[in-house]
Amino acid sequence: MQNKQPVIAPSILAADYSRLGAQIEECNKADIQWIHCDIMDGHFVPNISYGASVVRAAAKSTDAFIDVHLMIENPDAFIGTFAEAGAGQITVHQEACIHLHRTIQSIRRHGLAAGVAVNPATSLHTVEPIINDVDLVLLMSVNPGFGGQSFIRSTYQRLQRLCTMREEHKADFFIEVDGGVNLDNIEKISRSGADVFVAGSAVFKAPDIPARINELLREAKAGKEMVI
């Protein structure tokens, strides 16, 4: 089993946009490595979030790696836009890509890390042919579209299966989990194989954001240590 250092990726979907810079500054105090940006188009998912201007503002507020998750139809049309806005990585949905391999190549041509996301009801086998071509596989642990939902428990087993698949293919991608991650479940999510933990409500609804990030990281590390 691989053992990457755990990464907490605060999702600014849950931030107070009227003071986004200050909220990201709170994350910076915890020395976060990644900031997660959720782009929703009202078509692929039943909600609209924000676009490249907010990603650009977020990127200006932190030195952290900007992890952009496109929950949109036709992501190919927007890769350049988000690359220019400051993305370090773009993750597209398997379900939204007709030519997934071509889309991954396009993300790489823009000089970015490339990820693929799968919805809770999508078989992991649908991404097996490209797992040696991506930097990250994102397992949705809620149905995409909204923050503040409950973690879907079947994700634990899917994480274990994805870890096995990674070993079998001698692949090296990060495994990211997104949706309903909190202090009560992060240790088990980590133990099940996740490397990157997207947390929206758990971070931005906390009374002390840096303290909460550090608590989440401590629990994620504890989960990893149990796997060794």
Ligand X SMILES: O=C(CO)[C@@H](O)[C@H](O)COP(=O)(O)O
What are phi and psi for residue 127, nearest 5 degrees? -105, -5
Closest residue to ligand X: CB criterion? 200
Stretch that binds ligand X, among 17-25, 129-137, 165-173, 200-208 (CB under 6 A): 200-208
Residues 11 to 40 in contact with ligand X, rule: CB under 6 A: 11, 13-14, 38
Q: Does 42 bind ligand X (CB under 6 A)?
A: no
- Smaller CB separation from ligand X, 20 or 132: 20
Structure tokens at 50: 């924000």
Of the residues 38, 41, 67, 195, which is catalytic? 38
Distances (CA, A) of 158 to 88, 123, 212: 26, 9, 26
Cβ of residue 153: shortest distance to ligand X, in angstroms? Answer: 14
Cβ atoms 89, 124 nearer than 8 A:
no
Which residues touch 212 (CB under 8 Å, ≥6 apart)?
183, 202, 203, 206
- Smaller CB separation from ligand X, 18 or 228: 18
Of the residues 41, 67, 178, 195, which is catalytic? 178
178 is catalytic: yes
* Residue 93 assigned as binding residue: no
Report how far residue 211's alpha carbon sits from residue 11's, in angstroms, rounded to the nearest whole number. Answer: 16
Report how far residue 206's alpha carbon sits from residue 212's, in angstroms, rounded to the nearest whole number. Answer: 7
Q: Does 115 bind ligand X (CB under 6 A)?
A: no
Cβ of residue 9: shortest distance to ligand X, in angstroms? Answer: 9
172 is catalytic: no
**Binding region for ligand X (CB under 6 A):** 11, 13-14, 38, 69, 142, 144-149, 178-181, 198-202
**Residues catalogued as catalytic:** 38, 178
